[in-house]
Amino acid sequence: MFMGEYRHSIDEKGRVIIPAKFRGDAGKTFIVTRGLDECLFLYTLTEWKSLEEKLLTLPLTKKDARAFTRFFFSGANDCTLDKQGRINLSDSLMKYASLEKDCVIVGVSNRIEIWSASKWDNYLELSEQSFSDIAENLTDFDL
């Protein structure tokens, strides 16, 4: 399980360090793709295969299912940790998530998210204001 928030920098070659806590049992290869809320999602190979199986069950006849699957898979890239624990992000993924130098790497249970530091700070500020309302809307899930 991934959890926690870490601030890092992206170098001029598009490389970012994955926190050591996240590298432990996750393996050396990840899949990175466009995420929701203008961040990147990073999955272990095991989690990616599980997600892929679920997405393959979506009906091809549904426009939203096709659009989501297309969005998700077309942006996906495999990336392998180098000796310093870094991955290399493609230009298109960096552009999608507005990543330049400062970023925040967030553990979210079964995935890692990579955010532009400014977008993460804005997201936190907005979500903290409505956290009670969000929690109330999730009461049906027995949390």
Write the pLDDT tens digit of every residue in 108-130: 999 999 999 999 999 998 887 77
Write the pLDDT tens digit of every residue in 33-88: 999 999 999 999 999 999 999 999 999 999 999 999 999 999 999 999 999 999 99
* Domain boundaries, given as residue ranges, for the chain: 2-141
pLDDT of 133 above 80:
no
| 70 neighbors 62 (Cβ within 8 angstroms) | no
Question: Domain 2-141: which topology?
Answer: Chemotaxis protein chec (3.40.1550)
Write the pLDDT tens digit of every residue in 2-35: 999 999 999 999 999 999 999 887 889 999 999 9
Residue 115 CA: distances (Å) to CA of 5, 41, 87, 135, 138: 10, 9, 15, 23, 24
